[in-house]
C-alpha cells in the first residue's frame, strides 16, 4: 500500500496552484531484505510529512528554496500568534509570569 499522496498546493508568492507536494500520514513501513543467511524485516515508523516536489513555481518562477522559506516564515508567524493568545488566556486567569 502506498500512503503517499501527491497534491497541488498554492504558491505562497503568486497564489496559483502550481506546486506539487508529496504528503503522507504517519505509517509503518516494512522492508524485507534478503540475504544468503536469513530473511530479515526492518520495521520503520514514518511520521507524517510534507515534501515539496517541484523545483520551481511554473507561474512566477520562484525556486523551491524561496518557497520553503516563505512557508517556514508563515508557520513561525502562526506560532507567534498562538503563543500570544495563550499568554492572554493565562493572564485572564491571573498568571503574571513569562512563558518560554
Size of the site for Zn ion (CB under 5 A): 6
Contacts of 3 (CB under 8 A, 6+ apart): 24, 25, 27
Residues in the chain, total: 100
Specify the residue for cell string 508529496.
22
Residue 13 within binding range of Zn ion, rule CB under 5 A: yes
CB of 58 to Zn ion, least distance (A): 8
Residue 64 within binding range of Zn ion, rule CB under 5 A: no
28's grid cell: 509503518
| Member of 59, 66, 70, 71 binding Zn ion (CB under 5 A) | 59
Task: Please report, as ranges, the residues that interact with Zn ion according to CB under 5 A.
Answer: 11, 13-14, 57, 59-60
Amino acid at each position: 500500500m502506498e500512503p503517499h499522496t501527491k497534491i497541488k498546493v498554492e504558491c505562497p508568492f503568486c497564489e496559483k496552484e502550481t506546486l506539487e507536494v508529496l504528503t503522507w500520514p504517519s505509517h509503518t513501513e516494512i522492508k524485507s531484505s534478503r540475504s544468503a543467511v536469513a530473511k530479515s524485516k526492518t520495521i520503520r515508523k514514518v511520521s507524517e510529512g510534507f515534501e515539496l516536489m517541484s523545483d520551481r513555481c511554473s507561474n512566477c518562477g520562484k525556486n523551491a528554496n524561496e518557497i520553503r522559506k516563505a512557508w517556514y516564515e508563515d508557520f513561525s508567524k502562526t506560532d507567534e500568534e498562538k503563543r500570544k493568545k495563550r499568554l492572554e488566556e493565562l493572564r485572564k486567569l491571573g498568571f503574571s509570569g513569562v512563558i518560554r
